[in-house]
Amino acid sequence: MATTIPGSLVNKTKKFFMGMPAPTGYVPGVGRGATGFTTRSDIGPARDPTELPEAGPVGPSPQGASSSSAPPAKRARDDDGDGEDLNEANYDEFSGYSGSLFSKDPYDQEDEDADRIYNEVDDRLDERHKERREKKYKELVELFHKDRPKIQQGFQDLKRQLAEVTEDEWQAIPEVGDMRNKAKRNARAEKFTPVPDSIIAMNMNYGQMSHSIDSGNGLTTPFASGFMSTLGGGGGAAAAGAKSGIMTPGWKSDIPSSGTSTDLDLVKIGQARNKIMDMQLTQVSDSVTGQTVVDPKGYLTDMQSIIPQMGGDLQDIKKARMLLKSVRETNPRHPPAWVASAVLEEQAGKLQTARNFIMEGCEKIKNSEELWLHAIRLHPPELGRSIVANAVRSCPHSVRLWCKASDLEQDLKDKKKVLRKALEQIPSSVKLWKAAVELEDPEDARILLTRAVECCSSSTEMWLALARLETYENARKVLNKAREHIPTDRHIWLSAARLEETRGQKDMVDKIVAKAMSSLKVNQVEINRDQWLKDAVDAEMAKCPITCQAIIRNVIGLGVEDEDKRTTWLADAENFEKEEAFTCVRTVYAIALKEFSRKRSIWDAAIHFEREHGSLDEHEAILLKACETVPEVEDYWLMLAKLRFVNKRVGEARDTLMSAFEKHGHQSEKIWLAATKIEIETDQFDTARGLFGKARAKAPSARVWMKNAHFEWCLGNVEEAKRLCEECIQKYDDFHKIYLVLGQVLEQMNDVHGARLAYTQGIRKCPGVIPLWILLVRLEEKAGQIVKARVDLEKARLRNPKNDDLWLESVRFEQRVGCPEMAKERMSRALQECEGSGKLWAEAIWMEGPHGRRAKSIDALKKCEHNPHVLIAAARLFWSERKIKKAREWFVRAVNLDPDNGDAFANFLAFEQIHGKEEDRKSVFKKCVTSEPRYGDLWQSVSKDPINWRRTTEEILQLATQKIKVPT
């Protein structure tokens, strides 16, 4: 029978019950008096018990929680009578005893009816104020959560970002280690610190006793601390007073001593140690100058010289050595084997072994260029010269070896000698000729190139280089010879064209380029249109605009069908504009306008290009040409007049408009309005009023009447403006803008009823015009008719469904009248109906609390990423969080995406005024003036105000910026 030995007898440190299940009913710690406890994980996250406000005081009684439920049964009578406590200390004057005095009595039908009636009364009282109490409690809860948000709400945006974490990033998260009793589990290794030399020297005489008295120094007293204090004493105190003092072992005291000293001089010890170190470094240094196995300056810190530089370990290096040795022995005439062996030893840090391998390979394979090049690289320059000499003897036709030999020479004359010897061996090498020419003076280089083109007649670079160094006449001869030797290269022809342009022979340039095209076609050379257009760009960069124009004229029509010419040429002009080749762009537009002189799209592109990149004269010239070619397009006349007016040439601007009147027979509405604008800007109001009268007579239109009424309104003549509006309505009753002007004029006259009639009449004629509805609602709001205004908004939304402007006005209206709950409800419905509206999402972001704006902005960007309103709201959000760099980036995105939105410029300028520099603010002003924005709620409220009717764009921007509040 086998005997089982308990584990506790085998291993004394291991308890026999470890790993066994606990007995039934076992509670840890009960034997020593411990009690149970509850951890945080059992009760959930920590929250204040007073976290939520309590419900209102009015509420159903415990018995009335459910009227249909049976009343609680009374407690059974106890025999001992201990169930009730009738102590006076338990008595309250209002509520009596804590227990029921009648709990022992039987519960009959009358008691049940009484309880039911009381419960119904409590329920009825509770229902009377239930809605108001629940609403108040809900507001208290929302206010409490807004003031004291949960921790989870602060991490909502971070939790959203977890969706973007990849599986690799998730796997890369380090595991949480076991940090319990780390110090005990990972005991520190015992450390030994070397004892300094000063401590050793101080304790040399520790424990020794002196039995003699030095007459010169007095009594020598050894201290346990290692200091020897020489105290003057005895009869020689007066004579030896100057010799007394304290002498510290290891350092020589300034006070002379007559006796012998056994202290150590640590300075000499350090000098000796440095000398020994220097000797060791000298011994390990290599005999070659400049090459050393160990870096003397970084001997103690830089140990890279003895560490293999390869990615593998030493075992891999040994395996590679064995394989390469087998390859060398099997095929000793195989150069890559010797090169690989040398490189392996070089990376392993054994430079001398690598040199031996490579030199052995050179001896066995003398005609291998790669072996010689590696041998030169591995050896210092002094040995490299001798090696390269043997190399060129063995491989006299290797261009790389001759170039390496030239590089190893330090003196310029020696370099020239080497290259000339190389050219004697390899006269057809273009690389050697280039290297030799680069070392010579211009005159000697010209002589060398003359010989080079004879030896390398197929090298275009040599011919062109020689032509650049020759005079004009000789250059022409050189290029002619080059064309004879290389008839298929276009660069020679283009160089000839540039040569003629530099000499002023502009008529010859077109002829040379045309002849080049025909010659190349005869020699069956494919004419690549893209390559020639790139040559045109190169010619412009080389300051040869005539050559550039000639190339484009001869090439631009190659391979392009007639129906594709216009689109192709416009695309070419755009590509040239991106490369800033403006001469090429003008040439393309000139050819296109000559081919399609009546195409307005080409004229528009050419005029836009000159406005952006051309000078004032060039811009005016293209506009004049456009007016002459297509005089029926009145926009070009207006552009020309505006250009001259902006540049303070008012007389020429008036003459331009007079010419336009003659061409259009005084029937153009735009020209009449432009003429009135010039007179208004020059303060000629009477002249402008007369022009308006002529315009109404000769070119009557609703817009002319509206502009005239607006002009009188801005001057303060509200009665005249009202009369003009009413006359316009009689003639053009379907023009909605006249109703807008009339309503605002009547509002200024404090005629609320008349303004309401004007807006209502306009809505009947034009129910789809949203500004009429909005102005009517705001009029009712100013008049105090809140309910009427709300009804008008509902009616407007019914007639114009899915209109974000109306929904936005509804939300803002509820906010203005003090109904934030209604505003949130309107916003929720608006986002459901118009989920792609940037205006609504931008407003929704700022309706949220500080902790919810980030999440709302993320939702907004997902719905409408490229909407300027959302970009402005996001930029303002970053601004409120003081993320200056991000806010500036988003403002730039907003103004670039929609330069017509003036609100973006106003917010951007307000931001730069606080956080930007002067040049940043100037940049915003400049871009805004260039863009001339017209839209935006804030921008239009300032620009369309009659007070600001003559202000410039820059002034309007400043006024709008002043109304921007810093986001918080």
Overall size of the chain counted in residues: 968
The top-level CATH class assigned to 312-395 is: mainly alpha
| 914 pLDDT above the threshold of 90 | yes
| 526 pLDDT above the threshold of 90 | no
pLDDT of residue 95: 52
| 408 pLDDT above the threshold of 50 | yes
| 931 pLDDT above the threshold of 50 | yes
pLDDT of residue 11: 54
Q: Note whether 140 and 87 are within 8 A (CB).
A: no
pLDDT of residue 258: 40
DSSP string covering 825-851: HHHHHHHHH-TT-HHHHHHHHHHS-TT
What residues have CB less than 8 Å from 526, skipping those under 6 apart? Answer: none
Pairing of strands 219-222, 228-231: antiparallel
DSSP string covering 729-754: HHH-TT-HHHHHHHHHHHHHTT-HHH
What residues have CB less than 8 Å from 499, skipping those under 6 apart? Answer: 467, 472, 475, 476, 479
* pLDDT averaged over every residue in the chain: 80
Average pLDDT of the segment spanning 92-101: 56
Output DSSP code: residue 411: S
Helix 582-595 to helix 545-555 angle, to the nearest 10 degrees?
Answer: 40
| 584 pLDDT above the threshold of 90 | yes
- Note the pLDDT tens digit of each residue in 549-580: 999 999 988 888 888 899 999 999 999 999 99
**Structure-block tokens of residue 487:** 């008839």
The answer, as to whether pTM is greater than 0.95, is no
pLDDT of residue 261: 43
**Structure-block tokens of residue 267:** 């300075």
Looking at per-residue pLDDT, the higher value among 289 and 340 belongs to 340
* Three-class secondary structure of residue 213 per DSSP: coil
What residues have CB less than 8 Å from 578, skipping those under 6 apart? Answer: none
| 292 pLDDT above the threshold of 50 | no
pLDDT of residue 104: 64
pLDDT of residue 412: 85
Letter string b/e over residues 862-878, b meaning 16 or more CB atoms within 10 A of that residue's CB: ebbeebbbbbbbbbbbb
* Three-class secondary structure of residue 101 per DSSP: coil
Q: Note whether 71 and 112 are within 8 A (CB).
A: yes
| 471 pLDDT above the threshold of 90 | no
Q: Which is nearest to 443 in space by CA: 415, 466, 411, 412?
A: 466
Q: Note whether 133 and 57 are within 8 A (CB).
A: no
Average pLDDT of the segment spanning 143-163: 76
| 841 pLDDT above the threshold of 90 | yes
| 281 pLDDT above the threshold of 70 | no
- Note the pLDDT tens digit of each residue in 782-821: 999 999 999 999 999 999 999 999 999 999 999 999 999 9
- Note the pLDDT tens digit of each residue in 230-253: 333 334 333 333 333 434 444 333
- Note the pLDDT tens digit of each residue in 321-334: 888 888 888 888 88
CA distances from 474 to 93, 466, 482, 620, 879 (A): 131, 10, 12, 45, 69
Alpha-helix runs per DSSP H in 750-803: 752-765, 770-782, 786-799
Whole-number percent of the chain with pLDDT over 90: 36
Q: In DSSP terms, which residues pair with 220 in a beta bridge?
A: 230
- Spatial distance between the Cα atoms of 852 and 829, rounded to a whole number of angstroms: 19
Confidence grade of residue 206 (pLDDT, cut at 50, 70, 90): low
Looking at per-residue pLDDT, the higher value among 454 and 608 belongs to 608
Looking at per-residue pLDDT, the higher value among 122 and 248 belongs to 122
pLDDT of residue 184: 56
Average pLDDT of the segment spanning 723-728: 92
Quickly tell me which residue has 């009712």 as its tokens.
780
Alpha-helix runs per DSSP H in 556-633: 565-578, 582-595, 600-613, 616-629
| 522 pLDDT above the threshold of 80 | yes
DSSP string covering 664-676: HTT--HHHHHHHH
pLDDT of residue 440: 81
- Spatial distance between the Cα atoms of 392 and 426, rounded to a whole number of angstroms: 12
Listed by start position, the domains of the chain span 312-395
Q: Give me the sign of the Cα torsion angle 797, 803, 806, 810.
A: positive
| 228 pLDDT above the threshold of 60 | no
Quickly tell me which residue has 């009913």 as its tokens.
25
**Structure-block tokens of residue 477:** 């001869």
Termini Cα distance of the chain = 87
| 123 pLDDT above the threshold of 90 | no
Q: Which long-range contacts (CB under 8 A, 24 or more apart) does 654-661 make?
A: 654/678, 659/627, 660/634
| 158 pLDDT above the threshold of 60 | yes
What residues have CB less than 8 Å from 641, skipping those under 6 apart? Answer: 653, 656, 657, 660, 674, 678
